[in-house]
Copies of this chain bind each other. A is one copy, B any other.
Amino acid sequence: MAYLRNVWYAAAWSYEIVAGELFPRTIIEQPLVFFRNERGEVSALQDRCPHRFAALSLGRLEGGSLACRYHGLQFDAAGKCVGNPHGPVVESLRVPTYPAVERHALVWVWLGDPALADPADIPDMSFHDAVPDTAFNKGYLFINASHHLLVDNILDLCHADFLHPESLGNGWITRNRPKVEESGDTLFVEWLGFNEPPTPLFEPELPPGSMCDTWLSVLWRPSGAMVLRSGITLPGEPQAAGKDSLNGHIMTPETARSTHYFHSSTRDFRADDAEYNQQMYQGLRWAFEHQDRPMIEAQQQRIGSANLLDLGPALMPIDIAPVRARRIYERLLASELAGNSGARQSA
């Protein structure tokens, strides 16, 4: 299976990689092990000892180096062998490492050409740091489906009107066609509604019975980092006078048919209400686990190992953004496979 390599992949929430512990995660079929040095900086190594392919993540952290628990070979954070109890330290005893950067509560890893790994290209999730902890909730889900299907799901938010009618949708998204803007390798989709009833999630934030102006948008960056913005204001009021929420939906392929799903939610209202924050988390989590996940996993079963677009789906205008994201992905992938791993066009 071919995957984009010259992209930053979200590998883990920061909290998942605990000081002094080894954290394994497989990304685009590569087993990786993550750990922190004494300054807390994260390293990413191939989770495979070069000697006889033991799992380094079963090893020990000793000082800043990782000791394989099978035969005691020690590697520093750069993958260089720094201890061999059995003979000389030779160049072949090297573990591939990958650029890893911690930013905005996530750890990102670059599995492509290291010369192109520019942290400036990490998808901007700075909204994670712009609110207090009581206005920020987040989680991780493992999904048995292609990352493409999970990207489709977020780029086509009218699904909320049908799949999440008790929380995230009420028909207004479907009633209002989005604009779709492609810019470089990124995609921006925006729905705007005027004088619409609020969705169940936002209803308590308005006076009883009030209508609202409302907005919803997704900024997608390859391969699957998305920022979703949604909000409401009283009809006719500016957005700045309303309630706004920024959310992360980040899809990192494990394999062709399994995905690491990192979701987050922040908001500019009830920002110091820890209990509301927990309710919000529970509500979103329930929707993702019990509504999106079974739907998308069943979709995957029906698609099998094929590419959805090769099976003749009956596409509609609501599929414009999902299809464009797949086209951008295919274009970038073809370019990488052709050896053109040059500079990415930014938005």
Contact = CB atoms under 8 A, between A and B. Distances in A.
Interface string A137-154: 000000000000000100
Contact of A317 (B72, B87, B294): B87
A58 interface: yes
B87 A299 contact: no
Given A53-B308, A55-B295, A87-B316, A31 B302 contact: yes
A50 B311 CA distance: 10
A63 interface: no
Looking at A52, A72, A161, the one whose CB has the most chain B CB atoms below 10 A away is A52
A84 interface: yes
21 contacts: A47-B302, A51-B313, A51-B315, A52-B319, A54-B295, A54-B298, A54-B299, A55-B295, A68-B162, A69-B162, A69-B163, A70-B159, A71-B162, A71-B318, A72-B162, A72-B174, A84-B316, A85-B161, A85-B174, A87-B317, A93-B314
Interface in A140-189: 152, 156, 158-159, 161-163, 171, 174
A314 B54 contact: no
A158 B298 contact: no
A324 interface: no
Interface of A: 31, 47-48, 50-55, 58, 67-72, 84-87, 90, 92-93, 152, 156, 158-159, 161-163, 171, 174, 294-295, 298-299, 301-303, 308, 311, 313-319
B152 A52 contact: yes
Contacts of A71: 156, 158-159, 162, 318
A298 B31 CA distance: 11
Specify how many copies of this chain sit in the oligomer: 3
Contacts of A68: 162
**Chain A contact residues: over half helix, strand or loop, or mixed?**
loop
A314 B69 contact: no
B161 A72 contact: yes
Contact of A316 (B47, B86, B298, B302): B86
Contact of A86 (B54, B69, B302, B318): B318
Contacts of A84: 316
A87 B311 CA distance: 21
Nearest to A153: B70
Contacts of A294: 58
The 8 closest A-B pairs by CB, nearest first: A55-B298, A72-B162, A92-B314, A50-B314, A53-B302, A85-B174, A86-B318, A48-B302
